[in-house]
Structure 1
Amino acid sequence: MRKLSAFIPLIVALVLAGAGPALSPYLSDFVVKIMILSIFALSLELLVGMTGLVSLGHAAFYGIGAYATVLLSGKEGGSIALLLPAAMGFAAAYALVVGALSLRTRGVYFIMVTLAFAQMAFFVFHDTALGGGSDGIYMYIRPALGALDMENRMVTFYVVLAALVFTYGLLALIGRSRFGAALAGIRVNEQRMRAAGFPVYGYKLAAFVIAGALAGLAGFLLASRDGVVNPELLAWHNSGEVLLMIILGGLGHLRGAVIGAVAFTLLKEVLGTHAFVGPLADHWQLTLGICIIAFVALLPKGLIGLASRLSPKAST
């Protein structure tokens, strides 16, 4: 059973790859949105689930990646080969600065410092001409690289799918590496790891920068998909939403981050649609909050914990 479950992510990726051309434009766009949010959630999973660092400012790196993509593309457009590394690089650079300072604090102080840095970035784009103010800025021409033109719906679908597979695979490799083992040790008992001679600060900073770069990757994909960015991408509630995703799916599991992104997005879509819930759609934030509370209360291990409840022998 455990060996079979290890192939589930690969099977899902192959199903998506095969189903892509058969999806309607609406469904294709919706699946792309979920995959981008899954990458965003996986980037935070590296911090929270694998390292034990609860950040409330992760949306800053997501937004910086998106803004870097639009700003650098200019009126003539830009190449994916340039814009993708730039988006990840700018996000990683800001993560390096934020991490270098915030990781000197712990607990609730760390949470508040990351939030403060995210709000600083938010107001830079919100209150200056650099980011177009509260209206944001538009992308004139979406990124391209040879036959890979993000103007094409199917190209976007497969580029985002490839990015999701890359992100998931990278984090799976990290989890099985010595670096991942050190991060797990830090999550369980940081003091013991420090006493054993591990450079704890360096490990945490490396994880913080990698997570920031992956959030920048999600930002690049979002900007390429939508063709527009605005300061709300960096707002604190986006950091809160992605944190809810990984909690909803199940902390400590890569699959949990993806499941949480899927479930959270579907809940927002269903609860905000009159065809499904009628007049309650006008109050979707209330019903969404009730649903999240119910899920957390009934499934403390997240949605991924359903497998162990349904079958005690099943691996999560």
Structure 2
Amino acid sequence: MIPMVLRRAGARRYPLLAVGLLAALALPWLVYPPVAMDIVTWALFAAAVDLLLGYTGLLSFGHAAFWGSAAYASGLIAVHSGLPFPVAVFGGAAVAAALAVPIGALSVRSRGIYFAMVTLAFAQMVYFVANQWRGLTGGENGLQGIPRELWGLDLSDPFVFYYAGLPIVVFGLFCLWRVVHSPFGHVLVAIRDNPARARALGYPVERYKLLAFVLSAALSGLAGGLFAISHGFVSLQEVYWTTSGKAVMMVVLGGIGTLWGSALGAALVVQLEDYLSTAGFDGIGIVTGTVFVLVVLLFRQGIWGTARDLAARRSAARRSAAGTSAALRPPPAPPPVTGPAQRSDVDEPAATTLPQ
């Protein structure tokens, strides 16, 4: 029999997935389609970072290396091969995963701030290579003129391209959701909470960390490649360390270890930046930084995490109140005594006749 807790969690989980899918389908009707594409790609990037930060306990400031390298790789594949853009995007994700293997193998041996600094150092190395290899990346001029090819279909309309690229984002988010709710994801949470105990139970901690690092990098590359195809341009900004910081900020704003919070944080940051840039305001970083500080001070678990904890406390309070009222309710009255003509459901034993 399935425990009541698991059934209750499943009853909440699947309607929430349906609501999220409907929101993604309606997004280009609510905001400008290029902004909608930026929201979903950054949501996938932030969720991939959250897999490492929220579920494995590793803070990375180097994920711009995977986002940016996949963006360059996807752009180069699309420019020089003429293949459909999904092939270019997944090719960029493969490049990001391949790059993550040596970086992760050297980084996962560190912990805490040392892990963050090592990943930042590797990201700056990738930035230096992208800046100096001008013949391939364009250097400061960037990689321009990236086409959107899909078997002869016209994808020049951003509204049409949004629905062409959305299945890739949904696929990436589904992979993250499946990993988090799998036994592998539970082992990652155990490693985050107590790596010594997980190692004592026989789990190869460094191997699990490396696998989580590569998965996170591959899905970050999936988002970066789609972002490059959407904009038709890749700049050095994509491999700069501020891109990693922006993704971490989205995760913290929404709520670390929630996945849904990453999407919410991405929507808030991208919408705020678009609104401020459209209004002609130059100090975008000041406003986003102020919002980040306020959310950290007022919502320690992030926006989504705080709302989830508040709903859980209210639900527990209602169940406790219902249990208390049931305990204080007087017991039911005993059934009335039946007469000789009335018989109970249970047959009475036959009378025994004693001999005279």
What's the C-alpha RMSD, in Å, of the aligned pairs?
2.2
Residue 141 (structure 1) aligned with residue 147 (structure 2): yes
Asked if the contact 2:35–2:274 (Cα under 8 Å) also holds between the matched residues in 1, the reply is no
| Matching residue of 2:126 | 121
Secondary structure at the counterpart of residue 203 of structure 2: coil
Map of 1:10-49 to 2, 5 A cutoff?
Answer: 10-17=18-25, 20=28, 22=29, 27-49=32-54
Q: 1:314 to 1:288 in 2, by over 3 A?
A: farther
Residue 63 (structure 1) aligned with residue 71 (structure 2): no
1:266 CA drift (Å): 2.1
User: Structure 1 stretches (4+) deviating beyond 4 angstroms?
Assistant: none
Deviations 1:47-80 (A, max 9, x none): 0011111100001100011100111223562223
Q: 1:288 to 1:76 in 2, by over 3 A?
A: same
Whole-Å separation in 1 of the counterparts to 2:199 and 2:80: 50
Whole-Å separation in 2 of the counterparts to 1:236 and 1:83: 24
Deviations 1:266-299 (A, max 9, x none): 2223344438xxxxx2323222211211111000
Counterpart of 2:203 (choices 164, 183, 198) is: 198
| Matching residue of 2:56 | 51
| Matching residue of 2:224 | 219
Please identify, of 290-299 and 10-19, the stretch whose mean Cα deviation from structure 2 is larger: 10-19
1:220 CA drift (Å): 1.2
Whole-Å separation in 1 of the counterparts to 2:175 and 2:237: 28
Q: 1:11 to 1:196 in 2, by over 3 A?
A: same
Deviations 1:141-185 (A, max 9, x none): 2232464x5434344212332222222221121112111111011
Whole-Å separation in 1 of the counterparts to 2:108 and 2:49: 15
Counterpart of 1:8 (choices 16, 20, 30) is: 16
Asked if the contact 1:96–1:209 (Cα under 8 Å) also holds between the matched residues in 2, the reply is yes
Structure number with higher helix proportion: 1
Deviations 1:210-260 (A, max 9, x none): 111101101111111011101110100110010000000000101011111
Deviations 1:91-132 (A, max 9, x none): 000111110111122221111110010000011111222211
Please identify, of 75-84 and 53-62, the stretch whose mean Cα deviation from structure 2 is larger: 75-84
| Matching residue of 1:294 | 294
* Structure 2 unaligned residues grouped into runs of 5+: 1-7, 317-356
Residue 268 (structure 1) aligned with residue 273 (structure 2): yes
| Matching residue of 1:98 | 103
Whole-Å separation in 2 of the counterparts to 1:58 and 1:12: 25
Deviations 1:177-197 (A, max 9, x none): 111111011110111111111
| Matching residue of 1:306 | 307
Larger Rg: 2
Q: Which amino acid in the other structure matches residue 163 of structure 2? A: Y
Whole-Å separation in 1 of the counterparts to 2:195 and 2:266: 29
Whole-Å separation in 1 of the counterparts to 2:66 and 2:284: 27
| Matching residue of 1:278 | none
Secondary structure at the counterpart of residue 50 of structure 1: coil
| Matching residue of 2:284 | 284
Q: 1:202 to 1:271 in 2, by over 3 A?
A: same
Map of 1:233-248 to 2, 5 A cutoff?
Answer: 233-248=238-253
Whole-Å separation in 2 of the counterparts to 1:152 and 1:270: 22
Whole-Å separation in 1 of the counterparts to 2:256 and 2:312: 19
Q: 1:140 to 1:103 in 2, by over 3 A?
A: closer
Aligned residues: 306
Q: 1:300 to 1:65 in 2, by over 3 A?
A: same
1:6 CA drift (Å): 4.0
Q: Which amino acid in the other structure matches residue 302 of structure 1? A: G
Identity %: 36
Secondary structure at the counterpart of residue 197 of structure 1: coil
